[in-house]
Structure 1
Amino acid sequence: MASISSTPLLNSTSLSPLRFPNFSSPSPFAGSCRFLNRNLGSSLSPTVNRSGGAIMAAASMQGVVTEAMNLIQTTSPTWKSAVANNVLIFVLGSPLLVTGLSASGIAAAFLLGTLTWRAYGSAGFLLVAAYFVLGTAATKVKMSEKEAQGVAEKKKGRRGPRSVIGSSAAGCVCAFLSIYQVGGSAFSQLFRLGFVSSFCTKVSDTVSSEIGKAFGKTTYLATTFKIVPRGTEGAMSVEGTLAGLLASFFLASVGCFLGQITPPEAAVCVLASQIANLGESIIGASFQDKEGFKWLNNDVVNVINISLGSIVAILMQQFILQNWVK
């Protein structure tokens, strides 16, 4: 059996340390194989009847999930453990993943999940998972009606690799900078803040757009406030904007609960996300689909949007929050 020793890690510069165990076993897959073999074996017995077999299978699956969560929570964030845990989670979560992502989109999401786990452990991964679930749910709202109006996402809202990369580029940069400790410990929490803010920005953008297309009564162009049809680039609605604000608040609260950011930093993330989304709407209304800006597609605008969300949050923390909260 692998020997375990505890190593303290800080989940935030200002928060108490969490303790993650170090595994001396050469492969992080060993624990996964042991519990899968132990729990699934009982459900394959030919001597049980159908009803008893169903009950045992359900109990077995519950045991698998329970032990999977235990493994996830007790594995230190290394590249090997990040890959192992992502394989396990993506297999268990495949029914949900296929509803929101294409096959190539799942592959891109796997790379994002691995990078996130390596940088921020299970807490960072759960934050991204919450973003995915919330964004996918909003995309599916009134899908048939949005399709009839010609404003729905293509392929029933199943997003591909370009969408995944465009939605996570800023977060990936922050994760890389954290992994390789660029700037030392002084910048560690800034990169973490930028990471959380980028996903708060993107979930706000996705939810505001999808809810606006589904429930928005009147849609205004961000630059002129002229009334325009739903789905127009750079358009905004009251219903969508409020939904996006709530989504950003929810994800920032998740980040705070998971110990990724402090409550004041959560407020910064929400405010930065709204500033970034307003900027994205202005860019979309002013340049997108215009002559000479055909390269400015939704994926490029997404990168600009989440980058703004990260940068604004970091600047606010450095020049405002740092002076107000001692």
Structure 2
Amino acid sequence: MTNETKRRIEHIVPVIFVFLLKYLNTWQALLFALAGILYGLFLSKIFVKGSFREHEMERCFSFGKLIYGVMVFALILLFHKKMYIVAGAWAIMSLGDGCSNLFGKTYGKKKLPWNPEKSWIGFIAFVFFGGLGAAILMWWVNLSPLQTPLPWHYLLITAFLTSFITAGVESLPLKIDDNITVPLAAGLFLYAATIVNWKHLSHAHNIFTAFSVNVAFGLLAYYVKTVNKSGLISGVVLGTIIYLCLGPGGFLILFTFFLLGSWSSRYKYTWKASHGVAQENKGKRSSKHVIAKGGVGLVMAVMALLTNTPEIYRAAFVAAFATATFDTISSELGQIYGKRPILITTMQPVPVGTDGAISVEGTILGILSAAFIGAEAYVLHVINLQSILIVIIASFVGTTVESILGATIERRKWISNEVVNFINISTGTIVSLFFAKICLS
């Protein structure tokens, strides 16, 4: 048995513990997940020898195995009142992702056109085994007297639809660990299914206008070489959905973020390149940048359309792009105008471009850019006046968390920059949701 096969089996086997969720209360389930985290840190290398990759042996633990337990813990913490969501997301992470790798590595000759590292057979295996496992385990956990009974056909349809969408997310060429993206996407979609009102689809904006506007701007961006082909396609899809959900106001927020980000990345590019801090490919955006920076905002736009509390998710949508703008501006312009960059964890001076470095000038410019996004959203009637402060606070918190991660684990190459960006924007969005629910409900 190969080391990678051992790793996949170890990834799948824990799904049997999902059956216990029917009998555990929240604290018991959290303690159980904590045991999984400790297993990933200390015991996996003892019980499943040969399942560690070379770079994992050097740091004595596997980030993927550790994050598996962390995500189960997070799912329980977030959805403990609807434990069947935990069961479904866990099943999709374990069975869907695990079987996708097993079948894909063995039989995956026909590759996906958007990701040559993934195969059609792996995609199909993900949807089938993830959907079937999620349906069975959601039904089982929902039998608990602590859960609100749901019809089996609802669970079946939701399970397979979630598995299909999550398989799509997993198949994207992202540098983000599947143990983060898969349970997060599955958990959020399963939760969204409980609060959306499909009748609100009638409020969506004109699809022809949405698509035409985005194709026009996308081709222009491609012509001036600010995006490549994958960035063009993913950007058009992202922008079209946002336009459908929030109209021209939401699209202009996205456009402003893209404009500021592209401009700041190219601003004094020669100087940045000479100092080794310039963005790759002359600042040209690809699909990984579009998804890492815009994926969370896309989800918030959809929720703003389909839920009965659009003002909360509109604020979160704006906060997502304000956080992304704050991060880009403070980094790209802070490298140029920052007089004394310091490491956020030690407050000691560091060279320009150091992961986790901040400067007074960069931070001020970041705050101003986030405030500009918030003010623009207010003028465009996307959010109210009160939400501007929420947007600024959320973007500051998110970017601060990103700097801490950059100074600690990103510097050690434990996670990629795309993961840090995703966590940064997710943090800002979550903070905005917290304050918006308090202030806007």
Whether these two folds match at TM > 0.5 is yes
Is contact 1:82-1:118 (8 Å) kept? yes
TM-score by length of 2: 0.52
- Offset of 1:283 from its aligned partner? 1.2
Kindly indicate whether residue 181 of structure 2 is the aligned counterpart of residue 85 of structure 1. no
Kindly indicate whether residue 256 of structure 2 is the aligned counterpart of residue 137 of structure 1. no
Taking only the aligned residue pairs, the percentage that are identical comes to: 33
Match of 1:211 in 2: 333
Match of 2:433 in 1: 314
- Offset of 1:88 from its aligned partner? 3.6
- Offset of 1:322 from its aligned partner? 4.2
Of 274, 298, 322, the residue aligned with 2:417 is 298
Distance, in Å, in 1 between the alignment partners of 2:433 and 2:345 is 26
Is contact 2:296-2:426 (8 Å) kept? yes
**Aligned-partner SS, 2:358:** strand
Distance, in Å, in 1 between the alignment partners of 2:221 and 2:293 is 22
Distance, in Å, in 1 between the alignment partners of 2:285 and 2:221 is 15
Match of 2:323 in 1: 201
Long gaps (5+) in structure 2: 1-202
- Offset of 1:95 from its aligned partner? 5.3
Moved more, 187-196 or 198-207: 187-196
2:205 maps to a residue whose letter is P
Is contact 1:102-1:159 (8 Å) kept? yes
Does the C-alpha gap of structure 1 residues 221 and 205 become closer, same or farther in structure 2, counting only changes over 3 Å? same
Match of 1:155 in 2: 281
Superposed, 1:121-270 pairs within 5 Å as 121-179=247-305, 181=306, 184-185=307-308, 187-270=309-392
Match of 2:411 in 1: 289
**Aligned-partner SS, 2:347:** coil
2:299 maps to a residue whose letter is V
Superposed, 1:92-107 pairs within 5 Å as 94=220, 98-107=224-233
Residues 54-110 of structure 1: CA deviation (Å, up to 9, x unaligned): xxxxxxxxxxxxxxxxxxxxx97143432233224434xx15763422222121111
**Aligned-partner SS, 2:212:** helix
Distance, in Å, in 1 between the alignment partners of 2:264 and 2:276 is 17
TM-score by length of 1: 0.69
**Aligned-partner SS, 1:100:** coil
Distance, in Å, in 1 between the alignment partners of 2:377 and 2:302 is 19
Of 103, 111, 116, the residue aligned with 2:242 is 116
- Offset of 1:176 from its aligned partner? 2.5
Is contact 1:108-1:161 (8 Å) kept? yes
Residues 155-174 of structure 1: CA deviation (Å, up to 9, x unaligned): 11112110111001110111
Distance, in Å, in 2 between the alignment partners of 1:289 and 1:244 is 22
Distance, in Å, in 2 between the alignment partners of 1:277 and 1:158 is 22
Distance, in Å, in 1 between the alignment partners of 2:226 and 2:391 is 25
Is contact 1:268-1:317 (8 Å) kept? yes
Count of equivalent residues: 239
- Offset of 1:216 from its aligned partner? 1.3
- Offset of 1:249 from its aligned partner? 0.8
More helix by share: 2
Distance, in Å, in 1 between the alignment partners of 2:435 and 2:267 is 34
Return structure 1 stretches of 4+ with deviation > 4 angstroms.
none
Distance, in Å, in 1 between the alignment partners of 2:360 and 2:271 is 19
Distance, in Å, in 2 between the alignment partners of 1:199 and 1:169 is 10
Does the C-alpha gap of structure 1 residues 233 and 270 become closer, same or farther in structure 2, counting only changes over 3 Å? same
**Aligned-partner SS, 2:317:** helix
Does the C-alpha gap of structure 1 residues 156 and 301 become closer, same or farther in structure 2, counting only changes over 3 Å? same
Does the C-alpha gap of structure 1 residues 252 and 172 become closer, same or farther in structure 2, counting only changes over 3 Å? same
Long gaps (5+) in structure 1: 1-74
Is contact 2:401-2:424 (8 Å) kept? yes
Is contact 2:304-2:312 (8 Å) kept? no
Is contact 1:97-1:106 (8 Å) kept? no
Distance, in Å, in 2 between the alignment partners of 1:103 and 1:124 is 23
Which structure would you say has the larger RCO, counting Cα contacts within 8 Å and 6 or more residues apart? 1
2:424 maps to a residue whose letter is N
Does the C-alpha gap of structure 1 residues 95 and 315 become closer, same or farther in structure 2, counting only changes over 3 Å? closer
RMSD in angstroms over aligned alpha carbons? 1.9
Does the C-alpha gap of structure 1 residues 235 and 97 become closer, same or farther in structure 2, counting only changes over 3 Å? farther
- Offset of 1:149 from its aligned partner? 0.5
Distance, in Å, in 2 between the alignment partners of 1:205 and 1:315 is 21
Distance, in Å, in 1 between the alignment partners of 2:235 and 2:224 is 11
Distance, in Å, in 1 between the alignment partners of 2:380 and 2:411 is 40
Is contact 2:222-2:228 (8 Å) kept? no
Distance, in Å, in 2 between the alignment partners of 1:123 and 1:97 is 24
Is contact 2:277-2:353 (8 Å) kept? yes
Match of 2:176 in 1: none
Does the C-alpha gap of structure 1 residues 229 and 98 become closer, same or farther in structure 2, counting only changes over 3 Å? same
